[in-house]
Chains A and B, each alone.
Chain A
Amino acid sequence: MSRKDGEHYCLGVESTADDFSIGICTFDGEILTNVTSAYIPAEGGIHPREAARHHSQAASRVLKEALENACIKLRNLSVIAFSQGPGLGPCLRTGATVARTLSFYLGVPLVGVNHCVAHIEIGKLKSGSVDPVTLYVSGGNTLVAAFDSGRYRVFGETLDIPLGNCLDVFAREAGLHQSTDLPFGAIIERLAADGKRLISLPYAVKGMDMSFSGLLTAAASLLRTNQFRIEDLCYSLQETVFSMVTEVTERALAHTEKREVLLTGGVAANKRLESMIQTVAEDHGATFSGVPSQFAVDNGAMIAWTGVLAYLAGVTTPIKESFVNLRWRLEEAEVPWAKLQTRS
């Protein structure tokens, strides 16, 4: 099978944290491939340098597989996009190096993409929502955002650790083990299904922002007392943290009066969280949208698609200005294309 003549393709490289992923899409938003290699530490959390080592070893294999899946050759690519931040330095730099090399070698434009913007854009593409309030919850980010005056504005966010990180650390403290098929979040969700008793944990919503670190400490110390069932702790942890993000989402929805809610990020796979957000959307007469799991987690396709949007809006990143930006906030990113979309 070969692709149509004259079609344009963008390749996107994602490497902000533990996943190295390459996606290829057409300028019309058809995702041709999305190949990911995950770094799973034997124990503990992500070690940035070890993750970056994994990425550099996986890069050529992932690239080859992506091109094969998409049935295109390197020379067919018109644009190379990469995740420029926010994320872990060594991981970002590895992905950026792959992208710069491809762009230079092929003589095609390079586009640096904000990772958080990309999550929102692929979510919109896949769900068909146009101007949503987005709840993005993962191991690296927890924020509620919506488009306003030319940018994606953050209405509420975590003041310390991300929600996914809170769940992961708790699972590790509990001696649970994750695998590619069954990440910590899914294990906690299963255990929580057998939870019966709500154990009180600090519920920390401050204005529009949230705090999870005190809650994690409290849950971990209850765990160490050995007086509670792990199922009840997982249940209580889930109910508490999900209620917090749902409350903030509801406030943003009431404040912005938008008609759509989008749930994305790795934690979006949790059915309990999904049902809470769905309930809040219904209460406010808004449409709820989820994102297919492979596009809700970190993925190269979202970078490729956002690269297309940016490129078509005239945004490119010269190689000598393509430094990675570890703390690139969502509202610092310019999104000149988003205005055109929301107006329609």
Chain B
Amino acid sequence: MGETANQKLMKKGAEASLYTAYWHGRKVTIKKRLPKKYRLPELDEEIKTHRTARESQLIYEAKRAGVPTPSLYFVDVGNAAIIMEFVEGKQVKQLLGEITEQRRRDICIKIGESVGRIHRCAIVHGDLTTSNMILNPEGKIVFVDFGLGEKSADLESQGVDLHLMKRSLESTHFRFAEKCFLHVIEGYSRIVGSKTAKKIEDRIEEIENRGRYVSERKGRQKSVHN
């Protein structure tokens, strides 16, 4: 994978570690999947390889679909490492509370448009939280971490994708979560069309109703049998 310099651990997750480094003079992020002692080495190898390849593929396809994502520099499947562009900017999670309502609306619409673009290309992100979106200096919102993503055109998986976005807004930005999500759907609808957007909204509601979260089930009659 060539020389990297000044490698520094940025974040240690349950599945992978993120490092910043310099690679051929560029500032990069290296995402490296860690071996898991609990599983057999051959299974571990298979899972890491598969996920590294899939994540790289999704980052690339999302970019082709018109969604800003980090540029891939090197995919080292054997070492389960992805070397990609270091994205400058601020996490949407950090700035959403500090800006005007108008600005918030614009950002949420942009996010919705991007989600619409990847869904239109059968890509599900899998972890649409505002910490996985970075506002870069050019004013673009870059989607990062496709580690839980998959290729799917199913209404169900796309519904779950947006449902998770809604949940994450509610847990981190509860004061304006509802409005923000409406704007996300507004942007989404611009890309996929109002008919598809309506279908997704209905599905999200269905997911919430059957879902595991108590707050969303409040007011619903408990299903009792005797």
Contact = CB atoms under 8 A, between A and B. Distances in A.
Given A154-B212, A324-B225, A246 B127 contact: no
Contacts of B224: 323-325
Size class of B's contact patch? 20 to 34
Choose among B36, B39, B43, B46 the residue with the greatest number of A CB atoms under 10 Å from its CB.
Answer: B39
B47 A325 contact: no
A324 to B, nearest CB: 6
Nearest to B37: A279
B212 A157 contact: yes
B223 A254 contact: no
Interface string B133-148: 0000000000000001
Given A323-B224, A325-B224, A151 B212 contact: no
Contacts of B39: 239, 243, 246, 276
Interface in B30-49: 36-40, 42-43, 46-47
Interface SS of A by simple majority: helix
A89 B224 CA distance: 11
B225 A89 contact: yes
B201 to A, nearest CB: 21
Contact of B126 (A198, A207, A253, A275): A207
A198 B42 contact: yes
Contacts of A53: none
A280 interface: yes
Interface string B31-74: 00000111110110011000000000000000000000000000
Interface in A233-278: 239-240, 243, 246-247, 250-251, 253-255, 275-277
A137 B15 CA distance: 22
Contacts of B38: 243, 246, 250, 275-277, 279-280
A151 B214 contact: yes
A323 B47 contact: no
A93 interface: yes
Nearest to A334: B214
B13 A254 contact: yes
A207 B13 CA distance: 14
Contact of A239 (B43, B164, B212, B214): B43
B46 A323 contact: no
A206 interface: yes
A194 interface: no
A67 to B, nearest CB: 28
A331 interface: yes
A332 interface: yes
B14 A323 contact: no
Choose among B13, B14, B38 the residue with the greatest number of A CB atoms under 10 Å from its CB.
Answer: B38
Nearest to B157: A206
Given A325-B225, A329-B212, A239 B40 contact: yes
Contacts of A279: 37-38
16 contacts: A154-B212, A198-B43, A203-B43, A203-B46, A207-B127, A239-B39, A239-B40, A239-B43, A246-B36, A246-B39, A251-B15, A276-B39, A277-B38, A326-B223, A326-B225, A327-B223
The 9 closest A-B pairs by CB, nearest first: A254-B14, A243-B39, A276-B38, A279-B38, A323-B224, A323-B226, A251-B14, A246-B38, A198-B42
